[in-house]
Amino acid sequence: MLQVNNLSCERANRELFRNLSFEVSRGVALRIHGLNGSGKTTLLRILAGLYQEFEGDVDWGEEHYPLYIGHRRGLKALMSARENLFWSAAINGQKTKLSEVDEALRQVSMGGYVDIACGSMSEGQCGRVSLARLFLLHNPVWILDEPFNAIDSTGVQCLVERINKHLSSGGILVLSSHVEVPLTNLQELELRY
Amino acid sequence: MKRMVNRKQKTEPGGCALKMGNFFHRLGSPRPFYELSGVVLPVAGVLTLISLVVGSIWALGFAPPDYQQGESVRIMYIHVPSAIVAQSSYMMMGIAGVIFLIWRIKIADIALQCAAPIGASLTFLALVTGAIWGKPTWGAWWVWDARLTSTLVLFFLFIGVIVLRSAKDGSEAVGRATAMLAVVGLVNLPIIKFSVDWWFTLHQPSSFSLTESPSMPAEMWLPLLVMVIGFYLFFFFTWMYRVRTEILKREHRSQWVRSIDDV
Amino acid sequence: MRIILLTVKRDLLLYFRKPGDIFNPLAFSLLVISLFPLGVGPSADILGEISAGIIWVAALLTTLFSIDLMFKEDYEDGTLEQMILGREPLLLVVYGKIIAQWLVGGLVITLLSPLLGMMFYVNTDGILATVLALMLATPTMTLIGSIGAALTLGLNKGGVLIAILILPLYLPVLILGVAMIDTATAGDNYAGHVLWLAAILAISIGFAPLATEQGIRISLSE
């Protein structure tokens, strides 16, 4: 369970948010939305533990080590889809078999691209490969920054299904998105300044 | 274990989870520092002026000339104090860096940032006066003497801090990176100094070092002491002045800064 | 421990897929030092006198230019974020990256150094000492350099900034290393130099990656 208390953050002398407090329980998704530059990405990075210039408390309780997928997709252009995912699993301390990696790629309909270097894929394909992590890794907390960008409608559907499954198994999701998301158990948070 | 509870020191007392003593905590936040330093600054200014004027007149007019170097030894009264204070200011930057990295006290970042240019200038002054002194003593403007060389390295260390700090203005992350660099530099400074000294002895010292007179008479070291104190006060005065300016710059949107009467 | 090996493997794989990252700094520094004979003249006396210094300049340049790229791509494509957030300790990943970096930078220049030594009329004793000195000093340079690379991440200032930050810190190994080669060339015992270089290396192995790890966290918090 995630508890945020009196979170304030300032960047470049501009206050992004002040005294933000909210809670997200297991099995619930929190969608953060707001205009461009309202601090969505900064908030997600704070929650993930990447951005440290803030005041207030972020308490994840037991659930450390979130799975974070940000604007930078975390894929090496020079490594194949399979190698990239294998590395993702390794850095998460997860021992994986190649068959599991291939299966995850199949789930995002990238099964035919396991050996292709990510540098030669299209933007949308890279998006899918990075989302294949959701099928491979077992983190209870997901933090996704604009996960629906650059993927097509079947991709969106596949992602929504995966998220609902994650939530029903007691996971937590925090995501930012401009578009409405068809999720059960959705909480909303709007950032304005 | 990854720390996911993150508390940052707040400017108001009370929000701090650290046991640090209230005094330091208060002094560590910009506003009380600004108010306190406003009282200290004029005093420091007057003391600086007195000690520098007294020290200069004493050193340049009344101290005896050296039996070997003659009148040219008087430049020592500028060279030695600036070198000493320059080294101290690097040390101070390193300590401020440690404080900023551990306790995240904003003032420490400002202190570090403001000390760097003064320290660099003093180092530069030490280098220039060393060169001027070197001409009559060694017959050359520059000699790769152990002290001059390690002062040169110190100058580069200062430059590194200044360059990194100014890479992105006002960013707290860069402030912490700079603090880190200052700490790494401070740890390395003795090793560097030691290795330069060793390197110098390896390459046969050229006659004698500038400041190593076997026993300095009291008529010489007393004015030198006054000058050293004067330089320390000068550093303190300019540093505090810069810190106050930087505080105003950073907090310019806050209520208390706006309510200060323009002079 | 497994993660260190995996990181080394991954980084080596990436270097081999983009050999320019290894090759260009090396080519550049070899080019620079071959300018010395052209500048000061081919006399064996002069070149022999300054040979140790020239070889060290080559080692410094290679390390500096390759260290700049150490975290840069990982930072830009977001894999560095994953290293921070992953369950495996970032410190171990940093160790892995430093090892890989040294294997393609410091080790290569160490292995090339006998060749350079011969070009600059260093005698056999001197060449042996050169290899030994570089073997001990290049890991230190990579370790200290990684701190600079971590602190300048995301500043887009390029290699010059790193050079300003870390070159002064390279001074002790430079002085010790050059003195060691000179001592050996003169036929004297240089065991003391070896111990000093090894001591500095040991301290660097212990502490530099800690600073690098913190530096990465700081730079990513931007």
Domain boundaries, given as residue ranges, for chain B: 29-258
Mutation site for B-interface testing, chosen from C143, C182, C218 by largest number of B Cβ within 10 Å: C218
Longest CA–CA separation in chain B, Å: 68
Tell me the HSE value of A86 on the side-chain side, using a 13 A CA sphere.
Answer: 15
Neighbours of chain B (3+ CB pairs under 8 A): A, C
Q: Which residues of B touch A60 (CB under 8 A)?
A: 4-5
The residues of B whose Cβ lies within 8 A of any Cβ of A are 1-8, 10, 15, 170, 172-173, 253
Q: Which residues of B touch C147 (CB under 8 A)?
A: 180, 184
CA end-to-end distance (rounded Å), chain C: 30
User: What are the structure tokens assigned to B4, written together?
Assistant: 């996911």
- Which residue is closest to C16 within chain A, CA to CA? A78
Q: Which residues of B touch C167 (CB under 8 A)?
A: 156
- Which residue is closest to C82 within chain A, CA to CA? A74
Residue B15, pLDDT above cutoff 70 = no
Which pLDDT tens digit goes with each residue over B82-139?
999 999 999 999 999 999 998 888 889 999 999 999 999 999 999 999 988 888 888 8
pLDDT band for position B5 (50/70/90)?
A: very low
Interchain pair A76, C79: CB under 8 A: yes
Considering the domain A1-66+140-152+168-193 in this protein, what is its CATH number? 3.40.50.300
B77 conformational bin, left if phi > 0, alpha if psi -120 to 50, beta if neither? alpha
Residue A22, pLDDT above cutoff 50 = yes
- Pick from C215, C198, C158, C169: nearest CA to C60: C169
Give, for C106, the enclosing helix (H) or strand (E): helix C106-119
Q: How far is B200 from chain C (nearest CA, A)?
A: 10
Which pLDDT tens digit goes with each residue over B214-256?
567 778 888 999 999 999 999 999 999 999 999 988 888 778 8
For chain B, the three-class secondary structure string (H helix, E strand, C coil) is CCCCCCCCCCCCCCCCCCCCCHHHHHHHCHHHHHHHHHHHHHHHHHHHHHHHHHHHHHHHHHCCCECCCEHHHHHHHHHHHHHHHHHHHHHHHHHHHHHHHHHCCHHHHHHHHHHHHHHHHHHHHHHHHHHHHHHHHHCCCCCCCHHHHHHHHHHHHHHHHHHHHCCCCCCHHHHHHHHHHHHHHHHHHHHHHHHHHHHHHHCCCCCCCCCCCCCCCHHHHHHHHHHHHHHHHHHHHHHHHHHHHHHHHHCCCCHHHHCCCCC
Q: How far is B170 from chain C (nearest CA, A)?
A: 12
- Which residue is closest to C84 within chain A, CA to CA? A50
Percentage, residues of chain B above pLDDT 90: 43
Residue B3, pLDDT above cutoff 50 = no
Q: How far is A55 from chain B (nearest CA, A)?
A: 5
pLDDT at A193: 64
Q: Which residues of A touch B6 (CB under 8 A)?
A: 46, 49, 52, 54, 56-58
pLDDT band for position B204 (50/70/90)?
A: low
Which pLDDT tens digit goes with each residue over A51-107?
888 888 888 877 667 899 988 888 999 999 999 999 999 999 888 888 999 999 998
Q: Which residues of B touch A46 (CB under 8 A)?
A: 6
| pLDDT string in tens for chain C (222-residue length) | 889 999 999 999 999 999 988 888 889 888 988 888 888 888 888 888 888 889 998 899 888 888 888 998 899 999 999 999 988 999 999 999 999 999 999 999 999 999 988 888 888 888 999 999 999 999 999 999 999 999 998 887 767 889 899 999 999 999 999 999 888 888 888 899 999 999 999 999 999 999 999 999 998 887
Nearest CB to B164 within list C151, C172, C211: C151
Average pLDDT, chain B: 82
Q: Which residues of A touch B172 (CB under 8 A)?
A: 53
Which pLDDT tens digit goes with each residue over B73-94?
888 899 999 999 999 999 999 9
Q: How many contacts does A have with C, using Cβ atoms within 8 A?
A: 73
Interchain pair A92, C18: CB under 8 A: no
Return the residue matching tokens 């209230």: B22
Q: How many contacts does B have with C, using Cβ atoms within 8 A?
A: 72
- Pick from C68, C47, C55: nearest CA to C162: C68
Tell me if C3 sits within 8 A of A87, measured CB to CB: no
Residue A176, pLDDT above cutoff 60 = yes
Pick the more confident residue, C90 or A183. C90
pLDDT at A156: 87
pLDDT at C119: 87
E strand map for chain A: 2-11, 14-24, 29-34, 54-59, 67-69, 141-145, 172-176, 186-191
Residue B10, pLDDT above cutoff 60 = no
Q: Which of residues 161-180 of C touch A (CB under 8 A)?
A: none
pLDDT at C4: 94
Per domain, the residue ranges of chain A are 1-66+140-152+168-193, 74-138
Residue B23, pLDDT above cutoff 80 = no
pLDDT band for position B141 (50/70/90)?
A: confident
Q: How many contacts does A have with B, using Cβ atoms within 8 A?
A: 35
pLDDT at B253: 78
Tell me if A158 sits within 8 A of A14, measured CB to CB: no
pLDDT at B26: 58
Q: Would you mind telling me the total number of residues written for chain C in this entry?
A: 222
Q: pTM of the full predicted structure?
A: 0.88
Which pLDDT tens digit goes with each residue over A124-171?
899 899 999 999 998 888 999 988 887 888 888 888 999 999 999 988
pLDDT at B210: 54
- Pick from C167, C146, C141, C138: nearest CA to C212: C146
